[in-house]
Amino acid sequence: MAKTSSLFHCLGKAIHDPGRLLSTLNQEISETAVRGMFVTLVAGIYDPVSGQVRLANAGHLPVLRVQRSGEVCEYPSNAVPLGILPEGEFPCTEFELKDASLYLFTDGLSEARTERGARLEMGGLLDLITAHAHLPVEERVRRLVEAVSPTDEVAGDDRTLLLIEQLG
């Protein structure tokens, strides 16, 4: 993971195409990957002026674009994780953010346990996201964090959420 992070920061300064960036990362990681080790990753570019988003997904959970109405568009991975196939291809998906929010998250969030002790899973996470889609961004994040952070639970995995929303 440390190698992937370092390579991403370094190569991302010169390679501005998400698919090409993932391909280059994949070749580097595949050279030294230990059998069974892999990395899921979403790379993307967001232009806040035009609202244009360009993503490539290497085996990660789907990226979600959620309208204020609660309508959800999923952008699932259409490539294997990094480190599995040295010559893997990582196609890009492009769309406009428009009047929507973009949710990127780790599996620790979808695997978190609710107050009742059950795993949230993708369905539960989607329910939470759409139930709060009408709220201001800060409130949405706060409600999602509260829902997956019961005070007596020790997280078994990281719970990372990135929420992108176009201003204006």
Q: Provide the percentage of residues in the chain whose pLDDT is more than 90.
A: 56
Is 151's pLDDT higher than 60? no
pLDDT at residue 3, rounded to an integer: 87
pLDDT level of residue 153 (50, 70, 90 thresholds): low
Q: Which residues lie closer than 8 Å to 32 by C-beta, 6 or more apart?
A: 3
Residue 163 burial class via C-beta count within 10 angstroms: exposed 0-12, middle 13-18, buried 19 and up:
middle
Domains, the chain, ordered by start:
2-165 (3.60.40.10)
Q: Each residue of 75-86: pLDDT tens digit?
A: 999 999 999 999
| Residue 91 identity | P
Q: What is the mean pLDDT of residues 3-24?
A: 94
pLDDT level of residue 164 (50, 70, 90 thresholds): very high
pLDDT level of residue 166 (50, 70, 90 thresholds): confident
- Rounded Cα distance between 113 and 118, Å, is 5
| 129 closest CA partner among 87, 69, 78 | 69
Q: Which residues lie closer than 8 Å to 114 by C-beta, 6 or more apart?
A: 120, 124, 147, 148, 150
pLDDT at residue 100, rounded to an integer: 92
Strand partners, 41: 58
Is 155's pLDDT higher than 70? no
